[in-house]
C-alpha cells in the first residue's frame, strides 16, 4: 500500500499549507535531507492557542501534536508531489508550550510520533526530542519541526 492509500485508510485529508510570510521557507533540501520548519498547532485552520499545565489537557496537547503531524505530511506532499519518495522520517523536535510544572511533553509528542508510524510504518520511526518551552509564536500550544530523508 502506498502512502496516499494509507492516508485514505486513516481518513486523513491533507490541508493546504500556506507559504511563510517572512524570509524563510517551509522545506529546505540539502543532499537527500529535507529540513522542515517548525509547524504551529492549528485547529479548524486557526492557531491552536494554549499552554499545557495551565489551560489544556495532555489529551488535547496530544491531539494538537497529531494535527501538526498531518500538516507536516501536507508540507512534504506539496514539496515532493509524491509521498512515496519519503525514505524515512529521521528526526522530530517537539516544543510543548508548558507551565513550569507540566512534565508530560513526551505524552503530548506521542500524538505526532504515533501518526508518523501509522502512515509511514517502520520508515516513520524517528529519533526525537520533546521538551517544554515558555512560549511559542502566536501562542500556539505545540510546535514541531522534522528532518526527512528522501
CB of 15 to its own copies, least distance (A): 19
Rule CB under 8 A: choose which of 27, 42, 78, 85 binds its own copies: 27
CB of 12 to its own copies, least distance (A): 16
Distances 83 to 5, 39, 78 between C-alpha atoms, Å:
11, 18, 9
CB of 66 to its own copies, least distance (A): 12
Residue whose C-alpha is closest to residue 95's, from 126, 139, 125 = 139
Binding part of the chain for its own copies, among 6-14, 25-33, 55-63 by CB under 8 A, reads: 25-33
Rule CB under 8 A: choose which of 5, 13, 18, 100 binds its own copies: 100
Binding of residue 30 to its own copies (CB under 8 A) = yes
Rule CB under 8 A: choose which of 62, 66, 77, 126 binds its own copies: 126
Rule CB under 8 A: choose which of 17, 71, 74, 104 binds its own copies: 104
Rule CB under 8 A: choose which of 12, 14, 33, 80 binds its own copies: 33
Q: What is the rounded distance in angstroms from the CA atom of residue 115 to the CA atom of residue 122? A: 12
DSSP per position, 59-97: HHHHHHHHHHHHHHHHHHHHHHS-GGG--EEEEEEEEEE
Question: Does the CA dihedral 130-31-69-24 come out positive or negative?
Answer: positive
Q: What is the rounded distance in angstroms from the CA atom of residue 98 to the CA atom of residue 100? A: 6
C-alpha cell at 116: 508518523
Rule CB under 8 A: choose which of 22, 44, 45, 81 binds its own copies: 22
Binding part of the chain for its own copies, among 8-16, 60-68, 83-91 by CB under 8 A, reads: 83-91
Amino acid at each position: 500500500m502506498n502512502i496516499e492509500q494509507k492516508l485514505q485508510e486513516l481518513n486523513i485529508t491533507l490541508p493546504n499549507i500556506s507559504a511563510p510570510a517572512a524570509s524563510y521557507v517551509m522545506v529546505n533540501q540539502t543532499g537527500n535531507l529535507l529540513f522542515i520548519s517548525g509547524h504551529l498547532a492549528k485547529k479548524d485552520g486557526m492557531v491552536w492557542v494554549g499552554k499545557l499545565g495551565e489551560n489544556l489537557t495532555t489529551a488535547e496537547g496530544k491531539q494538537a501534536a497529531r494535527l501538526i503531524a498531518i500538516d507536516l505530511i501536507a508540507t512534504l506532499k506539496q514539496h515532493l508531489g509524491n509521498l512515496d519518495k519519503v525514505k524515512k522520517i529521521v528526526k522530530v523536535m517537539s516544543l510543548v508550550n508548558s507551565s513550569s510544572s507540566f512534565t508530560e511533553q513526551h505524552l503530548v509528542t506521542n500524538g505526532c510520533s504515533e501518526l508518523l508510524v501509522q502512515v509511514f510504518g517502520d520508515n516513520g520511526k524517528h529519533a526525537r526530542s520533546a521538551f517544554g518551552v515558555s512560549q511559542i509564536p502566536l501562542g500556539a500550544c505545540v510546535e514541531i519541526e522534522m528532518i526527512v530523508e528522501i
